[in-house]
A and B are shown apart, each in its own frame.
Chain A
Amino acid sequence: MTEKTAESSRLKTITLKVNHKEYTVDVEPRMLLSDVLRDELRLTGTHVGCEHGVCGACTIMIDGRPVRSCLVFGVQADQANLVTVEGLESEDGELHPLQKGFWEKHGLQCGFCTPGMLMTACHLLEHNPHPSREEIREAISGNLCRCTGYQGIVDAVEYAAKEMRERAE
């Protein structure tokens, strides 16, 4: 076995680029990326609900795609570019249009599902600046909200889409 591949020691050193900042941590291979973010990097904005891929609370962006961070091991994200909900607001602290939308349109009650909703919606709006309500519903179908009945969330995403189109003009 070559040295490169025989990685059987239990602790691994990995480097993660999260919201444009670089972090180097030692993790056990079995540590889920969601736990690395929350427990090692103290980025607790990413929520953990079901831990088997169903609820969507842990959704983050990996290399530009929305991914369940509870279904990826931290070691697998070595050298990857991650964006979590903490990375949505701009550097000067201005809220992302989606965050504003959730505020304005009552897109949250308890807020548990919100980080995952925001990341999922963010990916939708990057690819589809004019989503219909149906398309918004389809996009967030993998994110469970126990509180809002989704009305406010759909309104919030529509609000953000409009805001982002206006900014782009």
Chain B
Amino acid sequence: MKPAAFDYYKPETLDEALSLLDEFGYDAKVLAGGQSLIPMMNMRLARPPVLIDINGVQGMTGIEVGESEIVIGGLTRHYMVEHSPEIQNSCPMLAEGIKLIGHSQIRSRGTIGGSIVHADPTAELPVMLTALGGKVTVVSSSDERELTPEELFLTYMTTTIEPNEIVKSVHFPVIAERTGHSIEEFTLRSGDFAIIIAAASVTLDEEGLIESAALCIGGVDGIPVKLEDVTDELIGEAPSEEIFAEKCAQIVDLVDPEKDIHASAEYRKDLCVALSRRVLKKAADRAKQA
């Protein structure tokens, strides 16, 4: 047996889960989809003495699309979002980005809350949450709070969520009028973690000029990086291949990726520029048709 021994609890309500977290403190780990936690336990990089399996907790799964906001239960699995027709209409980036998470076997079990808490900077959900300015609702036995991505992500695989807290839901804005989304990534093999991810949202005004834009890159730092210096300069411009190329050229000076066995820092910078141009162009094209 690969993992070290642990005590296993399977609460049926959120309150029960939260009081177990209070009882066991740092000894306990929440088990959601297990698609990041179990590999770490199999390699004994993690050996939590207590696992609190929240898979039986009622009321934490589901997708609700409101007027301006989409609320996704923390325990909702990736495949449920992937196959939701409502998500395709209300948040095209999410529909597109979720498909890029691992393989179908991983999406069968992995959860939205788990991906956010795991906070891998090359994971799709943290990048999308940051690009779109979503929010996370976190609860403990005594408190409930809402966190923006800026308040949530600290560094590589580290968030400001306390050990006695659970991500109850994740919120994304419904796509605005005259807006287009796009997300793309570069991986070595389909389904692998990305080397670089870029996500963009572009809103055009009635004349077809850029009213607002967001651009976020994953894989260059410990948290997803929002490139406001680039998008600020796009406001009021007519969307074109040339303007995106011109403004994205500065990204080489704005990001500071590390090198590893898969790619040099220079190559990663090139990828940032290329993918940013591409997602901005695609988002703007889609905004024109919206």
Contact = CB atoms under 8 A, between A and B. Distances in A.
Contacts of A166: none
B42 A52 contact: yes
Given A76-B53, A123-B104, A51 B2 contact: yes
A5 B106 contact: no
A71 to B, nearest CB: 5
Interface residues of B, number: 36
A115 interface: no
A47 interface: no
A65 B103 contact: no
B25 interface: no
A31 interface: yes
A30 interface: yes
B104 A120 contact: yes
Chain A interface bracket (under 10, 10 to 19, 20 to 34, 35 or more)? 35 or more
Given A72-B34, A141-B191, A7 B8 contact: yes
A7 B223 CA distance: 37
Nearest to A71: B38
B55 A76 contact: yes
A139 interface: yes
A6 B10 CA distance: 8
Given A7-B10, A71-B38, A72-B34, A32 B2 contact: yes
B221 to A, nearest CB: 25
Interface SS of chain A: mixed
Contacts of B103: 56, 141-142
A161 B191 CA distance: 23
28 contacts: A4-B12, A6-B9, A7-B10, A8-B7, A28-B1, A28-B5, A29-B5, A29-B6, A29-B7, A30-B4, A30-B41, A31-B1, A32-B1, A52-B43, A53-B38, A66-B108, A71-B34, A72-B34, A72-B109, A73-B34, A123-B104, A138-B190, A141-B190, A141-B191, A142-B103, A142-B104, A142-B106, A142-B191
Given A66-B108, A141-B190, 7 more contacts: A10-B5, A28-B1, A51-B42, A53-B106, A75-B53, A138-B190, A142-B102
Interface of A: 1-2, 4-8, 10, 12, 28-32, 35, 51-53, 56, 59, 62, 65-68, 70-73, 75-76, 120, 123, 137-139, 141-142
